[in-house]
Amino acid sequence: MKLITRDTDYALRAICKIAKEKGKVLSVKELTGLTKVPGPYLRKILQRLNKAGVLISHKGTGGGFKLARGKVNTRLFDLIVIFQGHFKLNECFFKKEKCPDTGTCPLKKRIDKIEKNVIKELKEITIASLLR
């Protein structure tokens, strides 16, 4: 299991580059050069961030993307949810079947505690904190 997937990593890189420009609109071509992420792949990531309200897109000549107002406080956890879905460290071996030991499983209780701490830490990492 990967904690941070390639999409989340690329999104984080792009957002940090955009945030450093403080309101400047950056084209996909500029961002491709800055992040070293292939253009078509990066464009899809940026469009998802735009749809999620993290970025604002500008069309036409001089178009591109900029950080939405106040989104410098976007948390790493939020990006993980956008690109990876619901965050879960532990999935029971029984998958969709109800585990008979759910309430008493000592491993599940410990993993749940670790998961809670990981989520807390991920929520403390913001774009702004990475730019300092």
Q: What is the pTM of this model?
A: 0.86
Sign of CA dihedral 27, 37, 83, 78: negative
Give the pLDDT band (50/70/90) at residue 99: low
Can you tell me the distance from the alpha carbon of 62 to that of 25, in angstroms, rounded to the nearest whole number? Answer: 8
Predicted confidence (pLDDT) per residue in 47-77, tens digit:
999 999 999 999 988 899 999 999 999 999 9
Can you tell me the distance from the alpha carbon of 76 to that of 81, in angstroms, rounded to the nearest whole number? Answer: 9
Can you tell me the distance from the alpha carbon of 49 to that of 47, in angstroms, rounded to the nearest whole number? Answer: 5
Give the pLDDT band (50/70/90) at residue 3: confident
Whether 25 maps to a domain, the answer reads: yes
> pLDDT at position 109, please?
81
H or E element: which one contains 107?
Answer: helix 106-124
Dihedrals phi, psi of 58, to nearest 5 degrees: -125, 125
Split into its structural domains, the chain has a count of: 1
State yes or no: pLDDT of 98 exceeds 80. Answer: no
State yes or no: pLDDT of 96 exceeds 60. Answer: no
> pLDDT at position 95, please?
56
Whether 1 maps to a domain, the answer reads: no
DSSP 19-75: HHTTT--B-HHHHHHHH---HHHHHHHHHHHHHTTSEEEE-STT-EEEEPTTGGG-B
Please name which of 41, 36, 43 lies closest in space to residue 17, comparing C-alpha atoms: 36
65, β-bridge pairs:
26, 57
| CATH number of the CATH domain containing 57 | 1.10.10.10
Q: Which of 9-13, 62-66, 97-101, 106-110 has the lowest mean pLDDT?
A: 97-101
Q: Which of 24-28, 77-81, 86-90 has the lowest mean pLDDT?
A: 86-90
Instruction: Please check whether residue 35 is in contact with residue 13, taking contact to mean a CB–CB distance below 8 angstroms.
Output: yes
Range of the domain at 70: 6-131
